[in-house]
Amino acid sequence: MILNTGGRTDTVQYYTDWLLRRFSEGYVLSRNPLFPNKVTRYELTPDKVDCVVFCSKNYKPILPRLHEITDKFHTYFHYTITAYGKEIEPGVPSIEDSMGTLMELSKQVGRERIAWRYDPVLLTEKYTVKTHLQTFEKMAGVLAPYIDRCIFSFVEMYKKLETNMPELIPLTEQDKEMLAGGLGAIGKKYGIHLQTCGTNGDYTRYGIHKSGCMTLDILGRANGIEFKNLKHKGMREGCHCIESRDIGAYDTCMNGCKYCYANKNPRKAFENYKLHDPESALLLGELRATDTVTQGAQKSFLKKG
């Protein structure tokens, strides 16, 4: 089983103590977002978890104790650092601070386990195509020696964004071509393996690799292990990743990013945080009398030698 710790919330930044406690106690409970009374238990032991995948915008809180996980488990880290400021990402550290933390993380776990995520790429009057390319190049020049690859995606125009980001300028196909061409050239200049995420668009002519940011090939090479040759079902349309199990919860991330898909609104996350108990096996609250707990399927993808 591939364990995803950061698909629904920034667990690393806001729930570090809880996360480390779950690995220390060897299990976690995850509430079904569609059927709240259904709870799944996952064993957090090396024989049940093939790889732990992290995704965060700030790894600083967990760095001093990260070895408690990396010493026992295969791991891979997605680190999101974009061009945006506090008006779009209120709870995210500055670009300079974020790059410094990424470099610290890389020195600790190795560059082969780190993917820099520059996503989602969106346009406003402030964040133009030119601004993106200028900012991306400055960051690429610093981060290239510390990462395995860089992953980017174009913002998805889902309905919630019309309310949360009225300043958003819809991306045209010409915009995407200009961005892909520019990003591809910068990636080539700094020797960065650049790829897309969650899109079926083909930008290989710019030296950009196709989607699939959490594949068994990537995770295997990063950890020196070999997985079975399995079809990757993906999590949504355009996704080419291997299936994983997420232990987070929606409406719990306090970064407040205006483009976020995992929060209904930022206020809800702060309200829910009051329900968080670091000692609970659930990210939010406790088990209720009406809950049904089932053992999750944890099939291994590892190739048996």
Predicted pLDDT of residue 24? 97
With respect to residue 217, please indicate whether it lies within any of the assigned structural domains.
Answer: yes
Cα 253 from Cα 280, distance rounded (Å): 18
Predicted pLDDT of residue 215? 87
Into how many domains does the chain fold?
1
123-172: per-residue pLDDT in tens? 999 999 999 999 999 999 999 999 999 999 999 877 778 778 999 999 99
Cα 69 from Cα 113, distance rounded (Å): 14
With respect to residue 68, please indicate whether it lies within any of the assigned structural domains.
Answer: yes
| CB contact burial 45-67 (16+ within 10 A = b; e otherwise) | eeebbbbbbbbbbbbbbbeeebe
With respect to residue 118, please indicate whether it lies within any of the assigned structural domains.
Answer: yes
Predicted pLDDT of residue 261? 83
Predicted pLDDT of residue 237? 58
Predicted pLDDT of residue 235? 60
**What residue ranges of the chain have pLDDT lower than 50?**
none
With respect to residue 302, please indicate whether it lies within any of the assigned structural domains.
Answer: no
SS3 93: coil
164-207: per-residue pLDDT in tens? 899 999 999 999 999 999 999 999 999 999 999 877 678 999 99
Range(s) of the domain holding residue 8: 2-295
Strand partners for 3: 52, 245
Predicted pLDDT of residue 238? 60
With respect to residue 210, please indicate whether it lies within any of the assigned structural domains.
Answer: yes
With respect to residue 144, please indicate whether it lies within any of the assigned structural domains.
Answer: yes
Alpha-carbon separation of residue 247 from 28, 52, 210, 251, 272 (angstroms): 7, 11, 27, 13, 16
As given in the structure block, the two tokens for residue 197 are 């995420």
As given in the structure block, the two tokens for residue 206 are 């710019």
With respect to residue 76, please indicate whether it lies within any of the assigned structural domains.
Answer: yes
Predicted pLDDT of residue 190? 98
Predicted pLDDT of residue 275? 95
Predicted pLDDT of residue 232? 67
Cα 60 from Cα 66, distance rounded (Å): 10
